[in-house]
Amino acid sequence: MRIIGTGSARPSKVVTNSMLENFLDTSDEWIVTRTGIHERRVISSENLEDLAATAARNAMENAGITSEDVDFIICSNVVNEYVTPGLGCVIQGMIGATCPTMDINCACTGFIYALDVAEAYLATKKDMRNILIVCAEEPARMMNWHDRSSCILFGDAAGAVVVTKGDDLKAIRVSTHCKVEALYQKRKLQPTPFITKEEVDTEGVVMNGQDVFKLAVSSSIKDIDKVLTMAGMTADEIDLYVLHQANVRIIESIRHFVNQDKSKFPFNLDRYGNTSSASIPALLDDLNRGNQLKTGEMLLLSAFGAGFTTGACILRWSM
């Protein structure tokens, strides 16, 4: 597998920490110190599918292909306004593709899971040329905006890549360790005349921040160690660690474990917050368009999220 194009799109509405002070008992100082986030983008008038289609078009343009060249679309998404069909189907129509589409919901780890699926498809399906991966997320719509410990963390975004056959993926590992109580949301479904059970609507995400913090650091460290071993590489041989953008303190804890320089850990969560599975592909796009990725560099990607799902991979950059 090889990445040949990247794209991203973000909502126009910038929500700063001081704007949150207007309706939450919080402060810019608390949020910056505990998370590293200064502002985030939140959907106001946009539809998530518009952001997804823009990110997809940017990635195709960057790859020098058109929608006719796309043979499969993998869409990573947790929630959007459509319960059905899958968001991938909506995106397919908007970009004028005709290939099959598949949605996955692996929370913030979705991009790594999508890369794993893409690698398997490219390896086993002879006619498969290009796969479009679109990660489109609106976690801000899942939050209880009266809960200061969770709503301050998230922002909305879409990130996309085009992958084709190649030899750039050196190692990949995905895992799930069932820990629903650490981070979940339940909603009531439509009533029927036959329902007799009590159903719960949590009215937003329920998160144990400290448990998630510990799970994130411990699982990412384990994944990084495993993929380095799988690839026969050392931490020093990785040029950039592109980590899920959840909290600057999580990134720092992981950085201390691998004992690498700060400059190897690019981040943009100060401006965008945690955008779930869109965070890594959108950061890759920022780096790509900012000419911060050099051909031949080795990237280690690591993500973690609700489930608890985790995943990491080592990827040679060859664009």
Question: Looking at the annotation, which residues are catalytic?
Answer: 108, 244, 274
- Cβ nearer to ligand ACO, comparing 95 with 217: 217
Q: Which residue has the tokens 């086993």?
A: 124
C-alpha dihedral sign at 217, 220, 226, 230:
negative
Rounded to the nearest 5°, which phi and psi values hold at 72?
A: -165, 140
Shortest distance (Å) from residue 35 CB to ligand ACO: 5
Q: How far is the CB of 231 from ligand ACO (least distance, A)?
A: 25
**Cβ atoms within 10 Å of 25's Cβ, excluding its own:** 9
Q: Report how far residue 89's alpha carbon sits from residue 73's, in angstroms, rounded to the nearest whole number.
A: 9
In 3D, which of 282, 311, 314 has the Cα closest to residue 298?
Answer: 314
Nearer to ligand ACO, 82 or 213 (CB): 213
Whether 178 and 314 have beta carbons less than 8 Å apart is answered as: no
The distance of closest approach from Cβ of residue 68 to ligand ACO in the complex, given in angstroms and rounded to an integer, is 35
| Rounded (5°) CA angle 117-90-184 | 65
Tell me which residues in 227-256 interact with ligand ACO (CB under 6 A): 246-247
Tell me which residues in 108-167 interact with ligand ACO (CB under 6 A). Answer: 108, 148-149, 152-153
The owner of tokens 């801000």 is 140
The interface region with ligand ACO, picked from 6-14, 31-39, 162-170, 294-302 by CB under 6 A, is 31-39
Among 52, 90, 107, 293, binds ligand ACO (CB under 6 A): 107
Please give the biggest Cα pair distance in the chain: 62
Among 14, 121, 184, 209, binds ligand ACO (CB under 6 A): 209
**Residues of the shown chain interacting with ligand ACO in the complex, contacts defined by CB under 6 A:** 26, 30-31, 34-35, 107-108, 148-149, 152-153, 183, 207, 209-210, 212-213, 216, 246-247, 274, 276, 304-306
